[in-house]
């Protein structure tokens, strides 16, 4: 048999290369294991643990860094409003809200402590605060962040309009103007200390040298007071319809001009320290708050320079209701002979004047909101006027008499404030296309410091 005939036709196995350490088990090739010591295995596990921990820490650091950048860089720089090309940022907005919260709280505390000093109960104090403006509004704003935020953002828009208008007129304020604004905030009127020294030397104490100012922040009084409607109560308050009459604050001990100045300094320093502690802001932020108030005052004086010391006074009465339909029904009832006084007592939502038959007494027309003052300034004497719509509702008005009178200092101030506010509202309307308000500002309203009412 030949070699060819001896072949099986099956493929022949390749010979093993030299040096290959392959073992055949169950016809499957298997490489030999690389054996390591226990210490080596534990070292490798430790390396993986360290690597995993490092990766986790790195991820956390990145997340915190991103959150920090968003919170401290991106968010504060976001825009909540733009006025004539000038942006109002989240950081500026939040600083202002926090200062306003401190100011409102401090003024409410001042009012509460004053009432308590006269023996008012907490229920009576709440009743007084809830029935008076601006205290009722301050309380709601402190408890409802959106209301506070809206009030502040609108104020900041006006402030920017004031800055722009003042710049156009070349109006600026100095450090002395800002200091004066702070003094007025505390009700402090600096005395002429040289005159005081002369008076003391001669034994003649002048009335001016012994005049005692209010050394706590004075309550804000609206520049355009109006017939006071019933205020929507917050959940915590349950005001009654007949608030207790306000008490008269007794005189305090007489202080010399030097003592007044010293006490003012102490009150101011303590108040500023309180703002710093509650808000984390600095003195520059606090002075900036008073700087815009001083600038507003300077612009107001310029705008109202022609307001005279005489004004129109009216003796009027009114009935205030919520809807035009109600107002029309009341006008019809009056035309049919119903008593004005009886209707005012029965249905007027201005419970203050309503209890007196709607009587407002003699007042300068500048005391009222624009729509109301326009009606009583020009309306026919004795006629039923209305319905006159204002921010408070619908008024039915009757003017009993009207005449020109001299304005006292407070009335003149109110007249100028009213004229300035009207000018500012007209300016705001004319610039409306240059005012943009962001829709996301509500998400950035701080709720600290907390309200004194919880």
- pLDDT tens track for 74-90: 555 699 999 999 999 99
pLDDT digits (tens, 9 = 90+) for 195-213: 444 444 444 444 333 333 3
pLDDT at residue 39, rounded to an integer: 77
Q: How far apart are CA 137 and CA 124, in angstroms?
A: 18
Strand partners for 361: 316
Q: How far apart are CA 397 and CA 319, in angstroms?
A: 7
* pLDDT-flagged residues of the chain (< 70): 1-36, 64-77, 192-253
The torsion angle over the Cα atoms of residues 420, 421, 424 and 429, rounded to 10 degrees, is: -140
CB neighbour list of residue 258: distance below 8 Å, 6 or more residues apart: 193, 196
* Contact predicate 391/372, CB 8 Å: no
Is the omega angle on the peptide bond into residue 313 within 30 degrees of 0, that is, cis?
Answer: no
Task: Please identify, in words, the CATH class of the domain defined by 312-406.
Answer: alpha beta
pLDDT at residue 440, rounded to an integer: 86
pLDDT at residue 58, rounded to an integer: 77
Query: What are the structural domain ranges in the chain?
Result: 41-77, 83-242+262-306+433-444, 312-406
The burial of 231, by beta-carbon neighbours within 10 Å (0-12 exposed, 13-18 middle, 19 or more buried), is given as: buried
pLDDT at residue 51, rounded to an integer: 82
pTM of the model: 0.66
* Contact predicate 389/324, CB 8 Å: yes
Q: How far apart are CA 396 and CA 103, in angstroms?
A: 37
């Amino acid at each position: 048999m030949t070699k060819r005939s001896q072949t099986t036709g099956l493929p022949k196995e390749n010979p093993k290369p030299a040096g290959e350490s392959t073992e055949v088990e169950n016809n499957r090739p298997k490489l030999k294991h690389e054996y390591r010591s226990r210490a080596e295995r534990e070292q490798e596990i430790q390396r993986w643990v360290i690597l995993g921990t490092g990766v986790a820490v790195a991820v956390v650091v990145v997340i915190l860094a991103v959150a920090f950048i968003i919170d401290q860089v991106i968010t504060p720089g976001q825009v909540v409003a733009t006025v004539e090309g000038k942006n109002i940022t989240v950081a500026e907005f939040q600083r202002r809200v926090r200062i306003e919260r401190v100011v409102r709280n401090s003024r409410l505390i001042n009012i509460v402590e004053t009432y308590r000093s006269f023996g008012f109960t907490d229920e009576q104090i709440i009743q007084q605060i809830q029935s008076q403006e601006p205290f009722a509004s301050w309380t709601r704003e402190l408890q409802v962040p959106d209301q506070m935020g809206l009030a502040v953002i609108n104020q900041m828009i006006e402030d920017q309009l004031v800055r722009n208008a003042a710049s156009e007129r070349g109006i600026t304020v100095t450090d002395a103007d800002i200091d004066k604004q702070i003094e007025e905030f505390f009700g402090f009127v600096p005395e002429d200390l040289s005159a005081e020294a002369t008076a003391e030397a001669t034994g003649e104490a002048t009335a001016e040298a012994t005049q005692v100012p209010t050394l706590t922040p004075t309550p804000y009084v609206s520049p355009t007071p109006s017939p006071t409607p019933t205020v929507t109560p917050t959940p915590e308050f349950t005001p009654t319809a007949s608030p207790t009459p306000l008490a008269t604050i007794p005189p305090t001990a007489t202080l010399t001009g030097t003592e007044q100045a010293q006490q003012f300094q102490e009150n101011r320093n303590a108040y500023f320290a309180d703002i710093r502690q509650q808000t984390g802001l600095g003195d520059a932020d606090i002075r900036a708050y008073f700087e815009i108030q001083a600038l507003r005052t300077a612009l107001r004086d310029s705008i109202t320079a022609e307001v005279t010391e005489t004004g129109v006074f009216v003796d009027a009465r009114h009935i205030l209701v919520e809807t035009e339909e109600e107002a029309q029904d009341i006008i019809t009832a009056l035309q049919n002979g119903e008593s004005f006084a009886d209707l005012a007592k029965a249905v007027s939502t201005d419970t203050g004047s309503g209890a007196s038959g709607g009587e407002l007494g003699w007042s300068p027309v500048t005391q009222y909101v624009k729509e109301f003052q326009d009606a009583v300034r020009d309306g026919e004497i004795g006629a039923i006027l209305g319905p006159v719509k204002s921010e408070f509702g619908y008024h039915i008005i009757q003017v009993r008499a009207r005449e020109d009178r001299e304005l006292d200092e407070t009335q003149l101030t109110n007249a100028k404030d009213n004229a300035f506010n009207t000018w500012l509202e007209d300016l705001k309307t004319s610039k409306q296309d240059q005012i943009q308000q962001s829709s996301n500002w509500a998400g950035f309203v701080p709720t600290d410091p907390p309200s004194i009412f919880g």
